[in-house]
Chain A
Amino acid sequence: MAMLEVKDLHVHYGVIEALKGINLEVNEGEIVSLIGANGAGKTTMLQSISGIKKKTSGDILFLGESIFKKNPKFIVQKGLTQVPEGRRIFTGLSVYENLMMGAFLRKDKKGIQQDLEKVYAQFPILKERINQDASTLSGGEQQMLAMGRALMAKPKLLLLDEPSMGLAPILVKEIFSIIEEINKQGTTVLLVEQNAKMALSIAHRAYVLETGKVVLSGTGKELAESPEIQKAYLGG
């Protein structure tokens, strides 16, 4: 059974249909990438899964239970956390406080402390900046903070929305290798990206979204080699 199963999902913004019957699966242990151009519905998809966006019809199953009508709190508690587009870190709060916001619903002090150490090991720069106001971080550091914050929730499934946005190529590489590492440590990943090349290179499987519909799916390698994808997304 898949960890996350999206069935015939329809989502509207007013009269505009942003998602037109999406079917998608994420299995435990995978990195699944969702690629597509601006306005294809990628962010809407993640907002819908996280419970931020109201859905019209269809169903979303996470760990065998429908989360279609659940609120974000329930969904986070069940083990699904999102790193939103544009980091959305809490400015005015320190790096440490931001990380602790990620653990907001957890009560296991010991586990929180252990995960904090893990996050520091993964992102040493955050440990250096622990008492700094989060708004003073650079773009790359903010992305790391947003990821660290999400990991503090101890997610089983991590949703990442455009982690490469606005970052220098060298940082993009670093972020993606961290995503692979997080995955190897046992967290399943659903990744939304415009940077199709990077997204496909680390994905076990991938879906291509176009104007609210899945137009292609396959393994990362298959899609990276597919002529259509090469033409539309990989520039040649």
Chain B
Amino acid sequence: MSQFLQQVINGLSLGSIYALIALGYTMVYGIIKLINFAHGDIYMLGAYVAFITTTYFGFSFFPAMIASMVVCGILGVLIERIAYKPLRHATRIAALITAIGVSYVLEYTTQYVMGSEVKTYPTLLSNVSFSLGPVTISMQQVYIFTITIVLMIALQLIIKKTKMGRAMRAVSVDEDAAKLMGINVDTTISFTFLLGSSLAGVAGILVGIYYNSIDPLMGMVPGLKAFIAAVFGGIGSVPGAMIGGLFIGIAETMVVAYGSSLYRDAIVYLILILILIIKPDGLLGKNQREKV
């Protein structure tokens, strides 16, 4: 039992990182129906930005996190403006292929600039652990989980309570009707990319700390897993992405603990297959019929 609880704790911190990435996938899909495959690489860049600011400029954790958010946010907006906006009314497959192209550009540019070798991440958060009954919790886990929860609450507040959040929801339901309200659709889409990408930036620095190492291709697998988390929760649904991320994280940790670490990726894909068979809309996915 105590081992089980321990794994839940470990799973929660990994899962909350997945959830942060999944939010970006789900928000972008919600608003422009694009699976932004470059999103995993934005998160990789977030890790690198924090690596650079801490190693070369002596930033501590929080300033480095803010720097990652800002750089990733701006980059996300630029990518949308340059690569996706001209294709907004093109076929979905064209935009999807472009997203894969952008992903390669980011991965290999980073390899060119930073080198392809694995880099050791600086210890930015104290890794002191403490015991809570039968389980051991490290301060890193506490930080990761707390930061994620705070950001998720902030995101929910932005989406539910602010004018821009309302505009995001309106555009995702009906772009033309939103235009008729005087909403600037381009600005709203940019704002969505800004939010999603800056969350990915935070996920980047947290993963660097969690695994202690980064490399230019680190975005691929967690990116895919976060995407699966978004599908699991119901793509387009923000709470769904949160739940999906946590679920995938816990499932992965459990498999490593009780099965074999060989299957840590396989379990995630198995979950994807199962959800697509049993409930293709995802856990909280909308399956609304239009009223005429």
Cα distance A149–B183 in the bound complex, in angstroms: 13
Residues of A contacting B173 with CB < 8 Å? 90-93
Query: When the two chains form their complex, are residues B174 and A90 in contact, meaning their CB atoms are under 8 A apart?
Result: yes
The proximity string for A residues 68-105 relative to B, scoring 1 for CB distances below 8 Å and 0 otherwise, is: 00001100110001101010111111000100111011
Query: When the two chains form their complex, are residues A73 and B166 in contact, meaning their CB atoms are under 8 A apart?
Result: no
A121 at the interface (CB under 8 A from B): no
Chain A: interface residue total (CB-CB under 8 A): 29
Cα distance A93–B163 in the bound complex, in angstroms: 13
User: In angstroms, how far is the closest chain B Cβ from the Cβ of A205?
Assistant: 25
Contact partner of B182 (CB less than 8 A), chosen from A92, A105, A139, is A105
Cα distance A13–B73 in the bound complex, in angstroms: 37
B292 at the interface (CB under 8 A from A): yes
The proximity string for A residues 94-134 relative to B, scoring 1 for CB distances below 8 Å and 0 otherwise, is: 00010011101100000000000000000000000000000
Contact partner of A84 (CB less than 8 A), chosen from B163, B170, B180, B182, is B180
A153 at the interface (CB under 8 A from B): yes
Query: When the two chains form their complex, are residues A72 and B182 in contact, meaning their CB atoms are under 8 A apart?
Result: yes
Minimal Cβ-Cβ distance residue in B for A98: B170
Query: When the two chains form their complex, are residues A101 and B170 in contact, meaning their CB atoms are under 8 A apart?
Result: yes
The proximity string for B residues 169-196 relative to A, scoring 1 for CB distances below 8 Å and 0 otherwise, is: 1100110111111111000000000000
Query: When the two chains form their complex, are residues A76 and B181 in contact, meaning their CB atoms are under 8 A apart?
Result: yes
Query: When the two chains form their complex, are residues A91 and B181 in contact, meaning their CB atoms are under 8 A apart?
Result: no
Query: When the two chains form their complex, are residues A72 and B163 in contact, meaning their CB atoms are under 8 A apart?
Result: no
Residues of A contacting B89 with CB < 8 Å? none
Residues of B contacting A201 with CB < 8 Å? none
Residues of B contacting A142 with CB < 8 Å? 291
B95 at the interface (CB under 8 A from A): no
Given A91-B173, A93-B173, A104-B167, A52:B179 Cβ within 8 A = yes
Cα distance A166–B167 in the bound complex, in angstroms: 28
Query: When the two chains form their complex, are residues B183 and A104 in contact, meaning their CB atoms are under 8 A apart?
Result: yes
A135 at the interface (CB under 8 A from B): yes
B2 at the interface (CB under 8 A from A): no
Query: When the two chains form their complex, are residues A102 and B166 in contact, meaning their CB atoms are under 8 A apart?
Result: no
Cα distance A81–B182 in the bound complex, in angstroms: 9
Residues of A contacting B286 with CB < 8 Å? 92
Cα distance A82–B181 in the bound complex, in angstroms: 8
Query: When the two chains form their complex, are residues A81 and B292 in contact, meaning their CB atoms are under 8 A apart?
Result: no
Query: When the two chains form their complex, are residues A81 and B180 in contact, meaning their CB atoms are under 8 A apart?
Result: yes
Residues of A contacting B292 with CB < 8 Å? 86, 139, 166
Minimal Cβ-Cβ distance residue in A for B177: A88
The proximity string for B residues 151-177 relative to A, scoring 1 for CB distances below 8 Å and 0 otherwise, is: 000000000000100110110011011
B260 at the interface (CB under 8 A from A): no
User: In angstroms, how far is the closest chain A Cβ from the Cβ of B50?
Assistant: 35
**DSSP class of B's interface residues: helix, strand, loop or mixed?**
helix
B288 at the interface (CB under 8 A from A): yes
Residues of B contacting A105 with CB < 8 Å? 181-182
User: In angstroms, how far is the closest chain A Cβ from the Cβ of B95?
Assistant: 22
Minimal Cβ-Cβ distance residue in B for A138: B291
Cα distance A73–B167 in the bound complex, in angstroms: 13
Query: When the two chains form their complex, are residues B291 and A139 in contact, meaning their CB atoms are under 8 A apart?
Result: yes
Cα distance A46–B33 in the bound complex, in angstroms: 27
Minimal Cβ-Cβ distance residue in B for A133: B288
Residues of B contacting A104 with CB < 8 Å? 163, 166-167, 181-183
A50 at the interface (CB under 8 A from B): yes
Minimal Cβ-Cβ distance residue in B for A88: B177
Residues of B contacting A166 with CB < 8 Å? 292
Query: When the two chains form their complex, are residues A135 and B182 in contact, meaning their CB atoms are under 8 A apart?
Result: no
Cα distance A235–B169 in the bound complex, in angstroms: 44
Minimal Cβ-Cβ distance residue in B for A105: B182
User: In angstroms, how far is the closest chain B Cβ from the Cβ of A137?
Assistant: 8
Minimal Cβ-Cβ distance residue in A for B179: A72
Residues of B contacting A102 with CB < 8 Å? 181
Minimal Cβ-Cβ distance residue in B for A152: B181
Query: When the two chains form their complex, are residues A73 and B184 in contact, meaning their CB atoms are under 8 A apart?
Result: yes
Q: Which of A77, A88, A166 has the most CB of B within 10 A?
A: A88
Question: Can you sample 22 A-B contacts with CB below 8 Å?
Answer: A73-B179, A73-B183, A77-B182, A82-B180, A84-B176, A86-B292, A89-B177, A90-B177, A90-B178, A92-B169, A92-B288, A93-B166, A93-B169, A93-B173, A101-B167, A101-B181, A101-B183, A102-B181, A104-B166, A104-B181, A139-B291, A142-B291
B residues with a Cβ closer than 8 A to A are 163, 166-167, 169-170, 173-174, 176-184, 286, 288, 291-292
A residues with a Cβ closer than 8 A to B are 50-52, 72-73, 76-77, 81-82, 84, 86, 88-93, 97, 100-102, 104-105, 135, 139, 142, 149, 153, 166
Closest 7 interchain pairs by CB?
A: A76-B182, A88-B177, A105-B182, A72-B179, A73-B182, A90-B173, A104-B181
